[in-house]
Amino acid sequence: MNELIWKRKDLLGLEDLSREEIEFILSTAESFKEVSSREIKKVPALRGKTVVNLFYEPSTRTRVSFEVAAKRLSADVINIATETSSVKKGETLIDTGRNIEALKADIIVMRHNYSGAAAMLARHVNLSVVNAGDGWHEHPTQALLDIFTLKEKLGKIEGIKVSIIGDIAHSRVARSNIWGLTKLGAKVTVCAPKMLIPPGIEEMGAQVTDDVDEALHNADAVNVLRMQFERDESNAFPQQLEYFKNYGITEERLEKAKKNIVIMHPGPINRGIEMSSEVADGANSVILEQVTNGIAVRMSVLFLVAQANEHIKKDETAD
Contact string 54-83 vs another protein (x = CB under 8 A): -------------------x----------
Scanning 39-47, 96-104, 212-220, 244-252 for contacts with another protein by CB under 8 A, the matching segment is 39-47
Q: Based on the shown chain and the rule CB under 8 A, indicate whether residue 20 belongs to the binding site for another protein.
A: no
Nearest-angstrom CA–CA distance, 209 and 276? 21
Report CA torsion sign: 283, 162, 291, 115: negative
Q: Based on the shown chain and the rule CB under 8 A, indicate whether residue 155 belongs to the binding site for another protein.
A: no
User: Which is closer to another protein, CB of 42 or CB of 124?
Assistant: 42
Q: Residues touching another protein: how many (CB under 8 A)?
A: 26
CA distances, 16 to each of 8, 88, 185, 204, 218 (Å): 11, 32, 16, 13, 30
Strands in 206-209's sheet, in edge-to-edge order, are 206-209, 187-191, 161-165, 221-224, 262-264
Scanning 11-19, 126-134, 227-235, 302-310 for contacts with another protein by CB under 8 A, the matching segment is 302-310
Among 18, 20, 31, 58, binds another protein (CB under 8 A): 31
Quote the least distance from Cβ 107 to another protein, whole Å. Answer: 14
Interacting positions 90-149 with another protein (CB under 8 A): none
Rg of the chain, C-alpha, whole Å: 20
End-to-end distance of the chain based on CA atoms, in angstroms? Answer: 19
Scanning 32-40, 50-58, 150-158, 232-240 for contacts with another protein by CB under 8 A, the matching segment is 32-40
Q: Based on the shown chain and the rule CB under 8 A, indicate whether residue 18 belongs to the binding site for another protein.
A: no
Q: Based on the shown chain and the rule CB under 8 A, indicate whether residue 314 belongs to the binding site for another protein.
A: yes
Scanning 43-51, 140-148, 166-174, 207-215 for contacts with another protein by CB under 8 A, the matching segment is 43-51
Quote the least distance from Cβ 24 to another protein, whole Å. Answer: 8
Write out the residues near another protein by the rule CB under 8 A: 1-6, 28, 30-32, 34-35, 38-40, 42-45, 73, 300, 303, 307, 310-311, 314
